[in-house]
Chain A
Amino acid sequence: MLEINALHAGYGKVAVLDAIDLEVNEGEFVAILGPNGAGKSTLLKTIAGVHSPQSGTISLFGRRIGRLGTAERIRMGLGAIPEARQLFADMNVRENLVLGAYARIGVRIPESLETDLDEVFVLFPRLREREKQSAGSLSGGEAQMLAIARALMGRPRLLLCDEPSLGLAPMLVREMLGALENLREQGITILMADQNALTVLRMADRGYVLDSGRIVAQGESEALLNDKRLRAAYLGVGLSQ
């Protein structure tokens, strides 16, 4: 479904991604782990088309998308929840959701959009209550739901999630992960970057560990969880021994 080969990216002369190879198959839940500054966000931004790569190829659903814009990619079935959510704070919940469908609806709001909105509101009833409130006034948990819901409005088949647990209390993190689990059961493929390694690996099928822009380990979740060296170096678990 998603295939990345020898991807290099950076900002100016600073290289952030160094020869990344990565693959996500239909229906999988894949985690990207690694410390801050490892390049996780840049990788997801590059896949979403928000950041341009320096070299390498990205294929989505078997088609090379290196030169396509974000809107094109969304129309192909890619959705993204950016790091720190990036909501439109001074616009209301409904407007945020409508913009989630921006790439596929063109200039006029189609009739069918109401049904799409209803579907999303069924998934996140709390957002319906807040429909006319500005996104900036939402609590952390609600804002994260809005971010997920906004991405869903683009009708994605592959969903990129960048640190969705950022700034959420543990209880809300579980709720949010539950929502993602739900989406996955509906057949949405998920590629998620997170530092909260343990929780995420318990849900994911496979994982990649990124450090200083390189993939230093990859494999089934079980295997990664049991790798002592990785646990100590990257998964933040070593300290409790």
Chain B
Amino acid sequence: MDLVSLGQIVISGLANGALYAFVGLGFSLISRSTGIINFAQGDFAMLGAVLTGFLVAGGIPLILAVPLAVLVCGLVGGGLHVLAIQRAERANMAQLIIMTIGFAILIQGAVTWGWGSDPIAIPAFTGSAPLDLFGVTILPQQLWLVGTLALVTALMWFFFQRTVLGLALRAGASNPLGAAFVGINHKRLGAYSFVAGGLLGGLGGAVWAPIAFAQVDIGIALGLKGFTAAALGGFGTTFGPIAGGLIFGLVESLAAGLISSAYTDAISYGLLLVVLIARPQGLLGKIKRGAVDDHREEVLSAGLLATRLSRQDFIRFSVAVVVLLLLSVILAASWKTAALFAGITAIVVIGMVLLTGFAGQISLGQGTFMMVGAYASGYLTLKQGWPPIAAIAFGMVFAGLLALVLGRFIFRLRGYYLAMASLSLLMIFQTLARELHGITGGPNGLPGIAPFNIFGMQFFSDDEVFFVILVATLLCLIAGLSITRSRVGRALLAMRSDELAARACGANVVRLKIGAFVFAAACASLAGSLYVHYLGIANPLPFSFKSSIEHIVALTLGGFLALYGSYFGAAVVVALPSVITTVFGDADTQAGAGLKFLLFGLLVIVVIILQSNGNTRRGSERVRGWLRSGLRLKTAET
């Protein structure tokens, strides 16, 4: 490789890194002043890019379109804080973070609904004739991007060191109680930081857009990479995200240029995973020492949950069995397919109830473990001739071990590192699944997987598969119930309400969290296996980040602590597209898909607001009841 190509790689890496830095700055700004990891940060950048493209296409000159788009992003950021986060005052941190996932889905859905998901070309600010520097070509727009970043960095430095508002934001991050005593209003500060986050993201997106294309799909990747930038550099630092962004951009670009473009994602997310495990405070960050971990989360009471199997449990379980069996008889064919998928999703969500509801950890990558199950079943039954049940068991054990290893590193620290770690793991596995042709069959996957069979019985038709999934769901439900109603479940609940007090009672919280994670991974693996046995093919696509979104939505709708709610949440998630089709026409169009995500986002936000206000149970049950009656109507129509 000659020096010129290397220079070219470095230049494009730095330019991309500048964009990641913009997103990372937003992450760190919001997390510093509110403690929230805002998962919609990448979507602010995406919104900035798409809006600019939309405005330019509408005939507005670029010089007006960019500031306008950036301003809208700021308003969206502030609006989300005022209308959603401030309404959920008593929500705990995990719920607020899930709420920002709702924002991300909402923005993506709205953009897709409004403008579709096709790429939009945007003219460069000052022509697209490349400059030549010793043979290395530089796009003028790349200079614009780096220049803007430099300017913003300087402005931010000035803002934080010299302006009252900047001082106030730092004060709020440094000592919230002290800040309250000098009259700093934390609500207003939170709104300001969300506005700033929106502006930063929007600006990065708008300036970057002419280099590539503005497209709704970049939101997720930008969010992840921006988070990586912030995590690499250190969340608590002002300029760490810039260093982190540039480093990450370089690594990504070098990995693509020098090693293999196919493995870019695996390498760059591997880097994030390594950082999260080895240096969670970031390269520039410091871990605060000496402080007593006296942190106690305001926990929304779920009422008194008896941790003993009661007669009520048996009654509820029997009702669930009867209802599901009845469904298998009365459901029409098309709804039965939906019910199948709902059952598969429900199995994943049952695991997440333990992980998120009971152990308080957010995973955005249960798709990883579904893939483990899917490929274990596919590869072992097709290529090795294993019986399906053995392959399923192997997948569950393997997924559990994977969770065990990851959990050992991640749960040493308090916080929400699992969210990002699981997501990067998912990205790595997606790459591996596409590239390891020998085992996974590449993007085409492993076709021809036989239907599930056991003891010589084949389960081929929808009716038969429904029965298999029904049994699997009920088994997971029993396992989940059995854990939550045991002394381990009691310890999980105790840990949820007061971690320090639980430790003082001898509960090993790391082990408990790992246990919940392993259970969730095994459930997801089982779901993945069942999925491929039903469809007959194992490929990476169904387990992408979009599936994580569906899991989170289903979990939120069903209730974080409600095992029975899992099936309900899953049913809504699976049925919503069909409902949209019935009401608005074809759901397969872009607009239909956009509307689906828009509604998912809204549902997540509204349900969390309702859960966090007043009587938790009543709030979510009202929604559930309302949704249930809505569903019943739809079912009756078909």
Whether A107 touches B164, Cβ cut-off 8 Å, given contacts A86-B178, A88-B174, A90-B174, is yes
Q: What residues of B have a CB within 8 angstroms of the CB of A86 in the complex?
A: 175, 177-178, 181
Say yes or no: is A40 at the interface (Cβ < 8 Å to chain B).
Answer: no
Minimum CB–CB distance from A41 to chain B (whole Å) comes to 11
Q: How many of chain B's residues have a CB under 8 angstroms from any CB in A?
A: 19
Please report the C-alpha to C-alpha distance between residue A98 and residue B185 in the assembled complex, in whole angstroms: 16
Neighbour of A48 across the interface among B164, B167, B181, CB < 8 A: B181
Residue of B nearest to A104 (CB): B183
**Which B residues from 174 to 206 make CB contacts under 8 A with A?**
174-175, 177-185
Neighbour of A91 across the interface among B171, B180, B183, B184, CB < 8 A: B171
Say yes or no: is A99 at the interface (Cβ < 8 Å to chain B).
Answer: yes
Residue of A nearest to B177 (CB): A86
Q: Contact at B175–A98, with CB atoms within 8 Å?
A: no
Please report the C-alpha to C-alpha distance between residue A99 and residue B174 in the assembled complex, in whole angstroms: 12
Q: Contact at A87–B178, with CB atoms within 8 Å?
A: yes
- Stretch in A53-61, A69-77, A184-192, A200-208 touching the partner: A69-77
Q: A62-90 CB contact bits vs B (8 Å, 1 = yes)?
A: 00000001111111000010100111111
Q: Contact at B164–A91, with CB atoms within 8 Å?
A: no
Residue of B nearest to A69 (CB): B185
Q: What residues of B have a CB within 8 angstroms of the CB of A100 in the complex?
A: 182
Whether A105 touches B164, Cβ cut-off 8 Å, given contacts A88-B170, A88-B175, A89-B174, is yes
Say yes or no: is B37 at the interface (Cβ < 8 Å to chain A).
Answer: no
Minimum CB–CB distance from A112 to chain B (whole Å) comes to 14
Q: What residues of B have a CB within 8 angstroms of the CB of A95 in the complex?
A: 167, 170-171
Say yes or no: is A124 at the interface (Cβ < 8 Å to chain B).
Answer: no
Say yes or no: is B40 at the interface (Cβ < 8 Å to chain A).
Answer: no
Say yes or no: is B333 at the interface (Cβ < 8 Å to chain A).
Answer: no
Say yes or no: is B436 at the interface (Cβ < 8 Å to chain A).
Answer: no
Say yes or no: is B508 at the interface (Cβ < 8 Å to chain A).
Answer: no
Please report the C-alpha to C-alpha distance between residue A150 and residue B181 in the assembled complex, in whole angstroms: 10
Q: How many of chain A's residues have a CB under 8 angstroms from any CB in B?
A: 31
Q: A104-137 CB contact bits vs B (8 Å, 1 = yes)?
A: 0111110000000000000000000000000000
Whether A50 touches B177, Cβ cut-off 8 Å, given contacts A70-B183, A103-B183, A107-B164, is yes
Minimum CB–CB distance from A80 to chain B (whole Å) comes to 5
Q: What residues of A have a CB within 8 angstroms of the CB of B183 in the complex?
A: 69-75, 102-103, 154
Say yes or no: is B458 at the interface (Cβ < 8 Å to chain A).
Answer: no
Say yes or no: is B168 at the interface (Cβ < 8 Å to chain A).
Answer: yes
Residue of B nearest to A150 (CB): B182
Please report the C-alpha to C-alpha distance between residue A89 and residue B183 in the assembled complex, in whole angstroms: 17
Q: Which residue, of B163, B175, B182, B184, has the highest number of chain A Cβ atoms within 10 A? A: B182
Q: What residues of A have a CB within 8 angstroms of the CB of B170 in the complex?
A: 88, 90-91, 95
Say yes or no: is B165 at the interface (Cβ < 8 Å to chain A).
Answer: yes
Neighbour of B164 across the interface among A69, A70, A80, A108, CB < 8 A: A108
Please report the C-alpha to C-alpha distance between residue A71 and residue B179 in the assembled complex, in whole angstroms: 10
Please report the C-alpha to C-alpha distance between residue A100 and residue B168 in the assembled complex, in whole angstroms: 10
Q: Contact at A98–B181, with CB atoms within 8 Å?
A: no
Q: What residues of A have a CB within 8 angstroms of the CB of B168 in the complex?
A: 99, 102
Minimum CB–CB distance from A100 to chain B (whole Å) comes to 6
Residue of A nearest to B178 (CB): A86
Q: What residues of B have a CB within 8 angstroms of the CB of A105 in the complex?
A: 164
Neighbour of A82 across the interface among B163, B165, B167, B181, CB < 8 A: B181
Residue of A nearest to B168 (CB): A102
Q: Which residue, of B163, B179, B180, has the highest number of chain A Cβ atoms within 10 A? A: B180
Q: What residues of A have a CB within 8 angstroms of the CB of B171 in the complex?
A: 88, 91, 95, 99, 102
Q: What residues of B have a CB within 8 angstroms of the CB of A89 in the complex?
A: 174-175
Please report the C-alpha to C-alpha distance between residue A107 and residue B181 in the assembled complex, in whole angstroms: 18
Residue of B nearest to A81 (CB): B181
Please report the C-alpha to C-alpha distance between residue A108 and residue B168 in the assembled complex, in whole angstroms: 12
Q: What residues of A have a CB within 8 angstroms of the CB of B179 in the complex?
A: 88, 99
Q: Contact at B182–A91, with CB atoms within 8 Å?
A: no
Neighbour of A107 across the interface among B165, B174, B184, B185, CB < 8 A: B165
Residue of A nearest to B170 (CB): A91
Q: Contact at B164–A50, with CB atoms within 8 Å?
A: no
Residue of A nearest to B180 (CB): A50
Residue of B nearest to A98 (CB): B167
Q: What residues of A have a CB within 8 angstroms of the CB of B164 in the complex?
A: 98-99, 102, 105-109
Q: Contact at A99–B167, with CB atoms within 8 Å?
A: yes
Minimum CB–CB distance from B34 to chain A (whole Å) comes to 17
Please report the C-alpha to C-alpha distance between residue A108 and residue B162 in the assembled complex, in whole angstroms: 9
Whether A102 touches B182, Cβ cut-off 8 Å, given contacts A95-B167, A107-B163, is yes
Please report the C-alpha to C-alpha distance between residue A72 and residue B185 in the assembled complex, in whole angstroms: 11
Minimum CB–CB distance from A96 to chain B (whole Å) comes to 8
Please report the C-alpha to C-alpha distance between residue A50 and residue B186 in the assembled complex, in whole angstroms: 11
Please report the C-alpha to C-alpha distance between residue A8 and residue B176 in the assembled complex, in whole angstroms: 24
Minimum CB–CB distance from A40 to chain B (whole Å) comes to 15
Q: A176-218 CB contact bits vs B (8 Å, 1 = yes)?
A: 0000000000000000000000000000000000000000000
Minimum CB–CB distance from B284 to chain A (whole Å) comes to 14
Q: Contact at A70–B175, with CB atoms within 8 Å?
A: no
Please report the C-alpha to C-alpha distance between residue A105 and residue B183 in the assembled complex, in whole angstroms: 11
Please report the C-alpha to C-alpha distance between residue A86 and residue B177 in the assembled complex, in whole angstroms: 7
Q: What residues of A have a CB within 8 angstroms of the CB of B180 in the complex?
A: 50, 70
Q: What residues of B have a CB within 8 angstroms of the CB of A91 in the complex?
A: 167, 170-171, 174
Q: What residues of B have a CB within 8 angstroms of the CB of A69 in the complex?
A: 183, 185
Q: What residues of B have a CB within 8 angstroms of the CB of A150 in the complex?
A: 182
Q: Contact at B174–A103, with CB atoms within 8 Å?
A: no
Residue of A nearest to B187 (CB): A69
Residue of B nearest to A85 (CB): B178
Q: What residues of B have a CB within 8 angstroms of the CB of A98 in the complex?
A: 164, 167
Minimum CB–CB distance from B196 to chain A (whole Å) comes to 14
Q: What residues of B have a CB within 8 angstroms of the CB of A70 in the complex?
A: 180-183, 185
Q: Which residue, of B175, B177, B181, has the highest number of chain A Cβ atoms within 10 A? A: B181
- Beyond A88-B178, A102-B168, A107-B165, 12 extra complex contacts between A and B, CB < 8 Å: A50-B180, A69-B185, A70-B180, A75-B183, A80-B181, A86-B177, A102-B164, A106-B164, A107-B164, A108-B163, A108-B164, A109-B163
Pick 9 A–B contacts, CB within 8 A, sort by A: A48-B181, A70-B181, A71-B183, A85-B178, A91-B174, A99-B184, A100-B182, A102-B171, A109-B164
Give the top 5 A-B pairs by smallest Cβ distance, nearest first. A71-B183, A86-B178, A103-B183, A88-B174, A70-B183
